[in-house]
Structure 1
Amino acid sequence: MTTYSRRAPRTLLLALSAAAVASTLSAVPAATAATAVPTLTWEPCASTGGPTDQECAELPVPLDYRYPGGRQLTLAVSRLRSDRPEARRGTLLVIAGGPGSSGVQRLTQKAAALRKEMKGAYDIVSLDPRGVGGSTTASCGLDEGDRDLVTLRSWPAPDGGIADNLARSRRVADACARNGGAVLRSFTTANEVRDIDRFRQALGEEKLSAWGISYGTYVGAVYAQKFPRHTDRWVLDSSGDPDPSRVARGWLANMSAGADSRFPDFAAWAADPAREDAGLRLARRPEDVRAVVLGLAAELDRRPKASDRPGRPLTGNRLRQALQGALYSDSAFPQVARLIQQAQDPAATPVLTPDIAGALSDQVAAVTMGVVCNDVRWPAAPASSYARAVAADRVRYPLTAGMPVNVTPCAFWKGAPVEKPTRITGRGPSNILMVQSLRDPSTPYFGALRMREALGDRARLVTVEHGGHGVYLGNGNACGDREVTRFLTTGVRPGRDTYCAD
């Protein structure tokens, strides 16, 4: 079994640094591309509920890789050393989703489960991408009302109108252009990939293994495309369609069908007699749950109900957003069922679920919009085009009410993307394992099949007969977990695409 050294000779690292950076920059003079590998100073950073031996450091990265000696940003990075050094074979990178999710936090949350599965095979590391958590952030200076998930997601008005969405999208784009500066413009997938490779160099590793989740699968796929010789065992968990002409615009649009495919799982759960004692049974038959939810959302459109948060009533769109979020995991079903019951009870005050209970921070809103708008040009289609798309989508997929195809700030984003999105291909080593839920509300199965097709013989796909978003160590399928663990610890993948029953 191959072992990769923790600390290669300094001269080798300098050579790798120059070669890796130069290979990613098509228009950079060679003389400006060579920079010294940064040194990481690790310090204890254990948090409540996390591993006691977690360490953190700061990684400097260029604001603009065309000018690697220029202004530097700082990324928060974290690691857990192997608890069985004699079994260690390399370093496993956890790539969080989003855009906007913290890798450091994800590492803390999954540390115990990962260590149990890996049995000392890896040091486990992660980072907060630009704009996230402990890394350098940016701000758009948005009012609180424009940072609500229900407004950032562009849910149409109760009658399907999009006038407010258009006005808000222009306002957010203008504010980000005015206040975000060069730091916000640097929030791209391409730069996250370069930052990951700089992290690899600083760790002294020739290769990394990785577990990318959700948007992290796209980051992982782009890294594997750009730096194939630095990939060891690569896991893509819950992938979207990598179409370079659409990228995040396509992922968002696909959520309509994703929610529709996943909802029957919630309906079956909410109609089960086992929900009766907890007061969470919404209907006698699964086929009746959809009517209950849609009818309640329409009623809340007409008459929002005061909630436990002053000034933040439960509206139809807040209910729809809460449902959309709850479809990610069976474990969230009880809280949204309870919200539905409270909304139906004249004597009850609805307790809003965390995702709809408050606004995002300005920094989180900035990176969430920044990456998806900076990665690819979104069409500046006329308002009538968006209105038609919303009207059609509302009819076909009423659970999401036209939100996934509605206008966003990206339609009015200032400045063209600096780079073209990477086209994912089958060129490179065959060392990728994809794992995918059959009924994923965020990255639906048909989108993952497009990633699988793009990767060709580089990948194998494990399809899990389950619903939810994020499979490995997340949605409770022992077969899927076993396949991923076996690959990461032994290098053995299924000989062909395979299926795991629930």
Structure 2
Amino acid sequence: MFRAPRLAALSALLVGALALAGCTASETDDDRAADSVTTAPSASTEPVEMPAAPAGLEAYYDQDVAWEACGDDFECARVEVPLDYAVPDGERIELALKRLPAEDGDARIGSLLINPGGPGGSGVQLVEAADFLFSADVRERFDLVGFDPRGVNESDAVECVSDAELDEMRSTEYDVETPEGLAEFTASATELGEKCAAGTGPLLAHVDTESAARDLDILRDVVGDPQLYYFGYSYGTFLGAIYAETFPANVGRMVLDGAVDPALDSAALVMGQAVGFENAIRAYAEDCLAGDDCPLKGDVDDAVGQIQDLLATAEATPLPTGSDRELTGSLAASGIIMTLYDNEYWPLLTSALDAAMYDGDGSQLLFLADVSAEREEDGSYLTNSTEAFNAINCLDYPAEADLAQMQAQAAELAEASPTFGEMLAYGDITCDVWPYPSTAERTEVHAEGAAPILVIGTTGDPATPYEWSVSLAEQLADAVLVTYEGEGHTAYGRSNSCVTEAVDTYLIEGTLPEDGLTC
């Protein structure tokens, strides 16, 4: 959810990070999980009729989808949706889907559509990591269907810049506290928007989340489910919540993990993440100092100060990396933040900091920054997540680019997050000069009439702070909150058996865990 001039590499949540994290368990976790399930009624086993297609969209709901084998065990398809829902008879675009069929066809429940977040994350990629993310029980009973939302990756996609230009965007820094630096960043943002408009065409005006939620209902229909089974991580929780608000009667079983509070404006989102990542870097420092091979010294304040010094050094004099690319301050910050998405990656950060601080070698931090941006060794990018991130956010969040407001916010960010706050300031400039200004309103989502929704929040989540999950669960008319006490972004697939059992029981049996369950 970042929109910051110096952290372009963080413009998409790390899709691959989730796939690499293992699920841990303990006896305590198992005991708590066994006691957590309530007697909430299961979803009805009676046949449910397919909902009627919205007027004017019958051709999209009735389309035949051709699934074809695409690699071991997977099937792929493309689905047509309207470019503009206000003009359903107008231009069409295509969405890419990839599914892993249920392992037990006789016990199959339906299709579980999954979204990894971002915005700009690829569900087509995410489903390839199904063995790491979803339990054997879920894989046995559901077709797992990854989809790339409009504007993303293998669907009709946002196209803006070349790979070389994206490299430059990710590494360039602007001193936005000076009039000259601010003017340079504004000019660069303006140029980016112009290139996106030229490369993408009319689609750029229609990659908003409300349109993506309408797409999701078409996908529900074409996979043959009368109600939507859905799992959304991070930004995917926002997409899921908007779907539930728009189509409450069509909600089946929906899990929203690492929630975005839909009522927050861009300033509140940035502040929440600034605090979240500051807390995360302090948690890392405390853990590092307790070990034997930590490159940091002193207490937690001292250790975090040494990381801040490294960032300042890289900004003033980029570090060599053994390649033709240097580690700038923005790339160093990207590499550090990448590891804060999962405490399983903290040893990688320890090694990278040791190399940078004592050997002047920025190669490990550069590698981590490239992983977060999905950059390959040959300089190509696996997806368009960085470009799609800006395009989607700028339609979802109205810009608040008054200079005095941004200056005040910059001071507040620097105080709340001495490590990352300054880098997150002035991000609204990108959307202020975007070719298509947002007309969206950030309001609470209630989804009156929807089936119960399961929300999961992680207490140490830096990217979607725990308070956002609490808020979303309170906003929704019928929702249950599960709390995972731990560090890192999201919980299912990387936490413990307590979370796994609560989610699996809900998805497979329709039985909710006790509201307020803590794992």
- TM-score using structure 1 length: 0.84
Q: CA deviation at 1:163?
A: 4.4
1:272 aligns with 2:293: no
- Aligned partners of 1:121, 1:307: CA distance in 2, in Å? 47
Structure 1 pair 270–419 and aligned structure 2 pair: CA distance change class (3 A): closer
CA distance in 2, matches of 1:119, 1:388: 49
Structure 2 residue 494 is matched with structure 1 residue 470: no
Seen in structure 2, the aligned counterparts of structure 1 residues 349 and 319 have a Cα distance that, compared at 3 Å, is: closer
1:249–1:107 CA distance, 2 compared to 1 (3 A): farther
For 1:110-129, list aligned pairs within 5 A. 110-111=130-131, 113-118=133-138, 120-129=140-149
Whether 1:385 aligns to 2:408 is no
2:312 aligned to 298, 308, 324, which one? 298
1:212: how far off? Answer: 0.4
**Counterpart pick for 1:262 among 277, 280, 283:** 280
Q: State the one-letter code of the partner of 2:317.
A: R
Match of 1:213 in 2: 233
- Provide closer, same or farther for how the CA distance between residues 249 and 76 of structure 1 changes in structure 2, counting only shifts above 3 A: farther
2:277 partner letter: A
**Counterpart residue number, 1:320:** 333
Per mean C-alpha deviation after superposition, the further-off stretch among 207-216 and 325-334 is 325-334
User: Partner letter of residue 299 of structure 1?
Assistant: T
- Distance in 2 separating the partners of 1:224 and 1:363: 27
Q: CA-to-partner distance for each residue in 1:135-192, whole Å, 9 max, x for gaps?
A: 111322468455657469x875699964443332232233334443211111110111
Same amino acid, percent of matched pairs: 27
Tell me if 1:35 matches 2:59. yes
> Which amino acid is the alignment partner of residue 501 of structure 2?
R
**In structure 2, C-alpha distance between the alignment counterparts of 1:444 and 1:35, rounded to whole Å:** 41
The aligned residue for residue 505 of structure 2 is 486
Once the two structures are superposed, the pairs formed by residues 323-402 of structure 1 within 5 Å of their partners are: 323-346=336-359, 348=361, 350-351=363-364, 352-356=366-370, 363-382=384-403, 384-402=404-422
- In the alignment, the residues of structure 2 paired with residue 77 and residue 455 of structure 1 have an alpha-carbon distance, to the nearest angstrom, of 29
Does residue 45 (structure 1) correspond to residue 64 (structure 2)? The answer is no
Give the CA deviation at 1:3: 5.0
2:160 matches 1:135: no
Between stretches 328-337 and 204-213, larger displacement belongs to 328-337
For 1:493 and 1:142, the matched residues in 2 are separated by: 47
Q: Retained in 1: the 8 A contact 2:277–2:463?
A: yes
TM-superposed CA distance for 1:199, in Å, is 0.9
SS of alignment partner, residue 229 of structure 2:
strand
Q: Which has the higher contact order (CA 8 A, sep 6+)?
A: 2
Are 1:79 and 2:99 an aligned pair? Answer: yes
* 2:446 alignment partner, SS class: coil
Letter in 2 for 1:450: S
CA distance in 2, matches of 1:284, 1:440: 25
SS in 2 for 1:64: coil
Inter-partner Cα distance in structure 1 for 2:499 and 2:394: 33
CA distance in structure 1 between the aligned counterparts of 2:405 and 2:350, rounded to whole angstroms: 35
CA drift of 1:319 comes to: 1.8
- Given residue 428 of structure 1, which amino acid in structure 2 is its aligned partner? G
Match of 1:16 among 35, 41, 52: 52
The change in CA–CA distance for 1:242 and 1:197 in structure 2 (over 3 A counts) is: same
Separation in structure 2 between the aligned mates of residue 430 and residue 417 of structure 1, nearest angstrom: 30
**Please, which moves more after superposition, 226-235 or 264-273?**
264-273
Do structure 1's residue 193 and structure 2's residue 213 form an aligned pair? yes
In structure 2, relative to structure 1, the CA distance for the partners of 1:249 and 1:413 (3 Å cut) is: farther
Distance 1:496 1:483, change over 3 A: same
- In 2, the alpha carbon distance for the partners of 1:387 and 1:302 equals 23
**Alignment partners' CA distance in 2, 1:197 and 1:293:** 46
Asked if the contact 1:146–1:172 (Cα under 8 Å) also holds between the matched residues in 2, the reply is no
Question: Structure 2: which 5+ runs fail to align?
Answer: 1-42
Counterpart residue type for residue 197 of structure 1:
D
TM-score by length of 2: 0.82
Contact persistence 1:381–1:411 (CA under 8 A): no
Q: What's the secondary structure of 2:95's corresponding residue?
A: strand
Q: Which runs of 5+ in 1 are unaligned?
A: 23-31, 47-51
2:66 partner SS: coil
Deviations 1:125-144 (A, max 9, x none): 12111222211113224684
SS in 2 for 1:307: coil
Among 451, 474, 496, the residue aligned to 2:515: 496
CA distance in structure 1 between the partners assigned to 2:158 and 2:66 by the alignment? 25
SS of the residue corresponding to residue 59 of structure 1 reads strand
CA distance in 2, matches of 1:206, 1:347: 58
| Aligned match of 1:27 | none
Structure 1 residues 112 and 44: CA distance shift in structure 2, 3 A: farther
Q: Out of 423, 427, 431, which is 2:448 matched to?
A: 427
Query: Offset at 1:353?
Result: 2.3
What's the RMSD between the two structures over aligned residues? 2.9
CA offset digits 1:100-140 (Å, max 9, x no partner): 11101111112454251326222221211122221111322
Alpha-carbon separation, structure 2, partners of 1:73 and 1:336:
41
User: Aligned in 2, Cα 1:104/1:111: closer, same or farther, shift over 3 Å?
Assistant: farther
For 2:457, the equivalent position in structure 1 comes to 436
In the aligned structure 2, how far is the partner of 1:405 from the partner of 1:455? Answer: 31
Name the amino acid aligned to 2:515.
R
* Among 125, 145, 165, the residue aligned to 1:105: 125
